[in-house]
Amino acid sequence: MPKEVLTGSFISVGAVDLSSLIKKVTIMQTSDPKETTAFGQAAVARVGGVVDYEISIDWYGDYAASQVYATLQPLLNTATTCIVRKSSAVVGVTNPQFSGSFLVTEFPFIDAEHGEVHEFSTTWPYAGGTVITPTTS
């Protein structure tokens, strides 16, 4: 069974490559199921509803120019494009690109613990209106 260790993922937020300051990224796709159970049915019945997405990112804090703080803080309350690939290599079948517009709804000014690496997490909802389809070329 094939396995991969991701070490060179590409993540850009608002057209800024922040890959070297990200510990983990997840784009989650969910569906809002709708119940369709009718009289006489012995179990709940459902159909798939509207698809939604969110992006969660675990960051390493950095206040230098063009880094995390300088890039994200001005984006609060706006939609911005996030692009994620498993590798910084060229987009292809084995390195699909996921791109979408996400609403920056949170950004901590600081989230620090004495003597520890400055890390924090964000989760932003999808701002698009279309289904995210991986690009392979």
Helix, strand, coil proportions of the chain in percent (round to 5)? Answer: 10, 40, 50
What SS3 state is found at 133? coil
Whether residue 68 has pLDDT greater than 90: yes
pLDDT of residue 112: 87
pLDDT of residue 69: 94
Whether residue 1 has pLDDT greater than 80: no
Evaluate whether 67 touches 13 at the Cβ level (below 8 Å): no
Question: What value does the mean pLDDT take over residues 101-126?
Answer: 95
129 closest CA partner among 44, 53, 69, 77:
53
Residue-wise pLDDT for 74-99, tens only, equals: 999 999 999 999 999 999 999 999 99
What SS3 state is found at 70? helix
What is the pTM (predicted TM-score) of this model?
0.89
129 band by pLDDT with thresholds 50, 70 and 90? confident
Residue 54, token pair as written in the block: 């969110």
What SS3 state is found at 52? strand
